[in-house]
Amino acid sequence: IESDNSVQLEHILEELHFADVAEIIDELNLEQAVYIVKLLDSEKTSEALMELDEDQRDRVLNALSPKEIADELEEMDTDDAADILNELPDNIAQEVISELIDEQHAEDIVDLLRYEENSAGGLMAKELVKVNENWTVTGCVSEMRAQAENVTRVHSIYVVDNNDKLKGRLSLKDLLTSPASTPIKDVCKPKVDYVTVKTSGEEVSRIMRKYDLEAIPVVDELDRLVGRVTIDDIVDFITEEAEKDYQLASGISQDVEANDSIWDLTKARLPWLVLGLVGGIGAAAIMGGFEHLIKEYAVLFLFTPLIAAMAGNVGVQSSAIIVQGIANDDLKGSIGNRLLKEILLAMLNGVILAILLFAYTFFAEGEFLTSLAISISLFAVIIVAGLVGTFVPLALHKRGIDPALATGPFITTSNDIFGILIYFLIAKAIIGI
C-alpha cells in the first residue's frame, strides 16, 4: 500500500474515522507516518494527531516545520492545540504560535498556556456558545448559530452579563419554545454548576461525576466565563490518573507502557528497585547487629522474610485504602480517629495471624518461648505497619504531596526495615537474651 499510489491511499484514508487513521499511523515508521500526515488535509490529521501515542506524536511533530504544525493547530480545538504546544520545546512553540493565522484562535491558545495542566484552566477549551442576558431570543438564535460553527458539540448555552460574568444556563428547548422578543434574562436558568480556572482536575471530575454533567463552565477570578471542560477530557483525565496511581503502587514511575523500549522501562523501574536494594541492605545490617544470636536461635532468622513480607503487605493495604479515600474525597473524621481505627483493625488481623503462626511454629519447632516471641513480634509488626501505612499518605497529602507516592515500594521498603528491627527487639526481650 505504502509504496506507490498516493491518490488512492488518500481516498481510502479520507473515508476512515480519524481515530482509525491514528491507529494506522501508530503502526508505521516515522517516514511513512510523516508522509501520511502531509498527504491528508489538516482537518483529518489534526484530530488524528491528538489520538496518537505520545511518543509517536513527538516524533512526527519533530519532523514537521513550524508552519506545518501551525496548520494543524488551526484546525484543532484550543485545548488540544495548547496541549501540543506544551509538548514542544519553547523556541519551536514560539515559532509555531507566530505562524498561526487566525488571530482569535492564537490568542485563545496562548491564553490556555498560562494555566497549570492539572487544573480546570488547563483542561478547558475556549470553544463554547455564550449569549448576553440582555439580548432577546431572536438576536440570540442568530448569534448562536455563528458561534456553534466552531464548537463540535453544543452541550449547553451559557448566559453572561455585559462584563462577561456567568449568569446562568439556557436550554435549547426553552429557547425554541419562547416568544421571539423575550429577553434572555427571563428564559435563563440561574442555577448552574461551575468551577474556577484554579479548581484541580480531581475536583472537576468529582463534580462532573456527582452531577452527571457532560460539560461544565469555567470562570476566572472575576467570575468571567472563560471556557468549559467537556466530559471526554475528563474521561481521559480519570484514566490517566488511575494509571498513574496504579503504576506508583506497583513501583513504576509514571508514563510507561508495555510497548516502550527496554531503556525507557528500565528508567521507570530501576530507581524503585534500587530503593528496595537499599532497604534490603538496611535490613541485613540490622540483622547483622543480632548475628551473635544466630547459633543459638537460628529459627528466629528463618522467619525474617515472613515478618518483612507481612509488614509490607499490611502497609500496602492500609495505604491503598487511604489513598483511595483521599482520591474520592470521602474520608471522614480526624487523623487521630483514622489511626485508632487502623490500630483496632490491625489488632484484630494481628491476633488471628499471630495465633496461626504460633500454632505452626510450636508444632514444627516445639519451642514454646521462641514460638511465642515470633508470634508476638508478628502481632506488633502488623500494628506498626498498619499505622505507618495509614499515617504516611495522610501526612503527605496534608503537605500537598501526591499520597500515591507513599504506596508500593516506598511503604514496603520502610516497613521491611521497621518490621525486622521491631521483630528482633521484641524477640530479644521475650527470650530474655
Nearer to a second copy, 88 or 249 (CB): 249
330 binds a second copy (CB under 8 A): yes
Footprint of a second copy on 39-98 (CB under 8 A): 51
Is 313 an interacting residue with respect to a second copy (CB under 8 A)? Answer: yes
Give the β-pairing of 195-196 and 215-219. parallel
288 counts as binding a second copy under rule CB under 8 A: yes
Residues within window 137-196 making contact with a second copy, judged by CB under 8 A:
153
Q: Does 257 bind a second copy (CB under 8 A)?
A: yes
* Number of C-beta neighbours around residue 104 at 10 A: 11
Amino acid at site 272: W
Q: Pick one of 24, 63, 192, 231: the residue that binds a second copy (CB under 8 A).
A: 231
- Interacting stretch for a second copy, rule CB under 8 A, among 95-103, 113-121, 182-190, 306-314? 306-314
Q: Are 337 and 408 in contact (CB under 8 A)?
A: no
DSSP 251: T
**Which region, judged by CB under 8 A, interacts with a second copy, from 3-11, 133-141, 218-226, 241-249?**
241-249
Residues counted in the chain: 433
- The helix (run of H) or strand (run of E) holding residue 167 is strand 166-170
Element (H, E) at 130: strand 129-132
Q: Of the listed pieces 30-38, 114-122, 160-168, 247-255, which binds a second copy according to CB under 8 A?
A: 247-255
Binding status of residue 102 toward a second copy by CB under 8 A: no
Q: 360 is written with which cell numbers?
A: 505452626
**Which parts of 362-381 interact with a second copy (CB under 8 A)?**
none
DSSP-derived letter for residue 168 is E
**Strand, coil or helix: what is 360?**
helix
Instruction: Indicate which single residue of 255, 325, 372, 428 sits in contact with a second copy (rule: CB under 8 A).
Output: 325
List the one residue from 322, 380, 383, 392 that touches a second copy (CB under 8 A): 322
Contact flag: residue 284 with a second copy (CB under 8 A)? yes
234 touching a second copy, by CB under 8 A: yes
Site residue total, a second copy (CB under 8 A):
94
Q: Which residues contact 164 (CB under 8 A, 6 or more apart)?
A: 224, 225
x/- contact string, 3-32, with a second copy (CB under 8 A)?
A: --------------x-x-------------
- The CA distance from 177 to 68, in Å, is 46
Phi (first) and psi of residue 221, to 5 degrees: -65, -25
Identify whether the C-beta of residue 260 lies closer than 8 Å to the C-beta of residue 267.
Answer: no
Q: Please tell me whether residue 123 binds a second copy under the rule CB under 8 A.
A: no
Cβ nearer to a second copy, comparing 18 with 100: 18
Cβ proximity to a second copy, 115 vs 358, nearer residue: 358
* Residue 403 binds a second copy (CB under 8 A): no
HSE-up (13 A, CA, CB side) for residue 350 = 24
Tell me phi and psi for residue 165, to 5 degrees: -75, 140
